[in-house]
Chains A and B, each alone.
Chain A
């Protein structure tokens, strides 16, 4: 158990819909990262937040957005969903400049 929690574990929805994935980092970690794992793209970095502020951005679509709240939990919002958005979404957390520890992931299926 890494100490990073993600909810829900599974999410099934339809094209065009919007969903929110939630992540609670390890106690004391200020950084939260989001990654997407898909069969065709592999594991890709989406975005990082540090203490409530966006710190780094990767291959994140404009339909996707994230935020980190004052209690340090983070949410990844995915809108206008397409079939190709079906993937495993991971959250990771770390102290500044340290190793990232990953949560169990949320499996999103878009039908």
Chain B
């Protein structure tokens, strides 16, 4: 069965600093990979996705993620965070044809002014 690990439960960074959120997955083949963001009291918004092709994926709000097959990782990055980026971030995988997303436990991001 697929599984997703987000090793960091909570990360605090200063506004303007760079950010990297880690995501590792366990699956026999290359799954589809996603990052979603959940602001307090809100639903899940898709930041970016990887299906195939270029391993560096650009998303909304200045986020990008890099798929590394050798490390089974799909880490999310942003060069300079803004206070509005404070939220919970979820990595998710979907086995091709599986029809369901498997989510990590989430990483809560706090931004210091």
Contacts and interface: CB of A to CB of B under 8 A. Distances in A.
* Interface range on chain B (Cβ under 8 Å from partner): 20 to 34
B100 A56 contact: yes
B12 interface: no
Nearest to B90: A43
Interface string B74-113: 0000000000000000101000011111111110000000
A45 B101 contact: yes
Contacts of A44: 103
Contacts, number: 46
A2 B45 CA distance: 8
Interface residues of A, number: 23
A45 B95 CA distance: 13
Interface in B22-40: 34, 36
B102 A99 contact: no
Most chain A C-beta atoms within 10 Å of own C-beta, residue among B34, B49, B100, B103:
B100
Interface of A: 2, 31, 33, 35, 42-45, 48, 50, 55-56, 58, 90, 92, 97, 99-105
Interface of B: 34, 36, 42-46, 49, 90, 92, 97-106
